Structure 1
Amino acid sequence: MKFIRKNILTAVFFSVFAILLGGALISCSNGSSSSDEDDDESSYGTKIYSESVTFSETPTQIVSAEMLADLSIKSLTIKVINVNYSGSDDWWFTACSDSSWSNKAKLEWQSGEGANSLYLATITDAAAIAAYKANGIYIAGTNNATASVSVFYVEGEAEESGDSSEEALIKSFTSNTGSSSFTISSTYQLLAKYEAVSSASKVTIKITNVSYTGTSSDSWWFVSGTDTNSYKQKLEWKEGDSYELEISAISEYSKGIYLGGLEGLTGTVTVSYE
């Protein structure tokens, strides 16, 4: 009888010990550090924005152009952490320089799991940074997801992308106007560099003296592009062999204004800005 009572007391003791130990382990787990705490933000530069954001699939401004205008910026870093989302869609986050998705920079997963996942995008191209400074920083992402968003900048002069070394059809402007002859090839040609027109409120492209050296039966057409193969806007026919396009959202052409069209078309292109 004493032996049985002793075993019962021993079993009760170890049961209570196990419960207490289990509680201690759970408490320890809840106190573990998040990816945000482990992340060394000093490498990103100076923090200029940090807020909780509810995301939309439509780009929304989080940092104004006024906040960036007087800064000397070598790079911009956008950080997303502490994601809260109850839906079933995959998470995604993208920064851009306006509401029409110009200069898109996808935030890539870096570390962490679940709500503690860390996403980053770093922008270093001079033309893109100029567009962000002119228009502000916009962000979009998984609809109705919320997260902590921070923006950092490194002071200095941004480096030009490889596009800036490409020779433009119009190399110089006189009284805000430049002209050049052209022949449409299979890829879009750099018409004017972004740096030349980045401060303009409006750019006008006019094409005249059009002739055709090809054999295609397709209708003649001209378009502007944002790089060597990306269509942006169509030049409208005016009269005779004249085509024209007015561009007001200059920041959308941060890699330069390119010209494309039916291969074999030749003529004179004039670019003016104000």
Structure 2
Amino acid sequence: MTTPAATPFPYAEFDGHPATEDDLRTAVFFNYGHFTALQVRDGRVRGLGLHLARLDAANRELFELPLDGGRVRGLIRHALESAGTADASVRVQAYLPPEAGRTSVMVTVRGPVRMTPEPRSLMSVPFARTAPHLKRPGEFGQTYYAHLARRSGFDDALLALPDGSVTEGAITNIGFWDGTSVIWPQAPALSGTTMALLEQELPGAGVPTLRRPVTLDGLGAFRSAFVTNSQGMAPVARIDTTAFTVDGELMRRLEAAYEAAPQDAV
């Protein structure tokens, strides 16, 4: 079989065909929808079932329509083949254009990305996303506060409720280490796939995980912290004025647990 020539990134398809101007107008002017972002390596994805389940659940909630996982896999596979790559950052975004009877799916293919391992500094901000369990495009508040944090000398924002409860990062989940267990904030937030895979794999590696409320004024109780998203994970050096130990051994254990999660062919 002839391998297609690589297509310049980014490459986008709508429902299996190269994106047209009309398709892109839909994405720009009708952004009520949802998406998932994933990393593909050699045509395989960790947590693929979690991504597909997220898309189907969100589609049912927003549009009262299922989104078949087999269809989505086929669209991802077709976009990768058309782009001439098996290693990529892929974004799957679902819309229901006006008067359409079926969900339209955009698949965007870019070069592969991995989160850099440098310790992060986070600025807490008073912001709660609407329907935080859904991964949605066009989140102005997250973007606004992330830019504000960077202008203030931090790497990113940490979202917190008015009562000081920690929820999530601007585009990450956050976990804490008390020396014994990994603690995830028990608060309204997106359950990211990397976070879910760590919750699945860490107990088998001898690292307990649990969810419990975490507050800004209680951050001093934790030794270390880290952030995760589809691009990987990185340690947190400080949140506001609270400093954390950058624990290399903890990060190695997290990475090993993540790498132990099975990969599925698209």
Given the two structures, how large is their TM-score scaled by the length of structure 1? Answer: 0.26
Pick the structure with more helix per residue: 2
Choose between structure 1 and 2: higher strand proportion.
1
TM-score, reference length from structure 2: 0.27
